[in-house]
């Protein structure tokens, strides 16, 4: 049986650790100004992975501040915590740069939706274990450009197309639940895993230990947790052992 993974989220905006509600930039809560300290804290508490998102890059804004923050996070996590990183990775060069910095897995979203060959090229260039695909869905339709635009693609058909090109890992977010702490859309995540045969990480909506238990019981790869951890709804160790 595979080891269920808990991914603390570090969402970066202007170099600070924030959370958005439903991905809306005007619904932002800032939690910490020192991402390196946050990364070190999760590592000290037993995290094996971190899920880091460059929100500024996802929104098409200035991104160097967040890249500097990523560098500090990688320094804090060196040799002990793996980094899954996404947000604005829209060229193979950007993916290569991120991997060269030391991230373990790059998360592709917008460009993989807009250009069917991009995901395949990334898998061929860097290997399937180095690439994950973000499936951010609003009422079953995939969103792009920082969740601001509809791609016109349906969740399930796109997931099947990723399976055909050799993808191994999907990150599924129900955007209506993200940051709301109203429960994870684990049923759809489970359906994705069962129908595609791919590893699926659930994201969005964790508000209690019960939510994590449901995802775990569904046989999914893992769950990404943000606001609930930062607002101390439960401790990381509690979440690890629930």
Task: Give the 3-state secondary structure of residue 233.
Answer: coil
Which residue among 136, 178, 185, 211 is the active-site one? Answer: 136
To the query of whether residue 11 is one of the catalytic residues in this protein, the response is yes
- Which residue is catalytic, options 11, 56, 178, 185? 11
The dihedral of CA 241, 131, 188, 195: what is its sign?
A: negative
Judge whether 115 counts as a catalytic residue. no
Alpha-carbon span 58 to 212, nearest angstrom: 27
Catalytic residues: 11, 136
């Amino acid at each position: 049986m595979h080891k269920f993974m808990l991914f603390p989220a570090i969402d970066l905006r202007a170099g600070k650790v924030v959370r958005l509600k439903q991905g809306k930039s005007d619904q932002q809560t800032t939690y910490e100004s020192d991402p390196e300290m946050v990364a070190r804290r999760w590592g000290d508490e037993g995290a094996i992975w971190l899920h880091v998102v460059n929100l500024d890059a996802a929104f098409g804004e200035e991104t160097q501040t967040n890249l500097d923050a990523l560098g500090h996070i990688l320094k804090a996590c060196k040799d002990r915590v793996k980094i899954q990183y996404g947000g604005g990775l829209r060229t193979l060069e950007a993916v290569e740069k991120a991997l060269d910095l030391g991230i373990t897995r790059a998360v592709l979203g917008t460009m993989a939706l807009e250009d069917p060959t991009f995901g395949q090229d990334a898998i061929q260039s860097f290997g399937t274990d180095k690439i994950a695909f973000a499936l951010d869905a609003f009422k079953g339709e995939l969103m792009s450009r920082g969740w601001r635009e509809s791609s016109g693609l349906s969740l399930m058909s796109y997931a099947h197309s990723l399976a055909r090109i050799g993808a191994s890992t999907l990150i599924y977010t129900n955007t209506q639940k993200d940051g709301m702490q109203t429960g994870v859309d684990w049923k759809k995540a489970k359906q994705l895993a069962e129908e595609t045969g791919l590893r699926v990480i659930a994201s969005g909506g964790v508000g209690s230990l019960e939510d994590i238990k449901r995802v775990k019981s569904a046989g999914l790869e893992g769950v990404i947790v943000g606001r609930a951890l930062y607002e101390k709804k439960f401790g990381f160790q509690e979440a690890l052992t629930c």
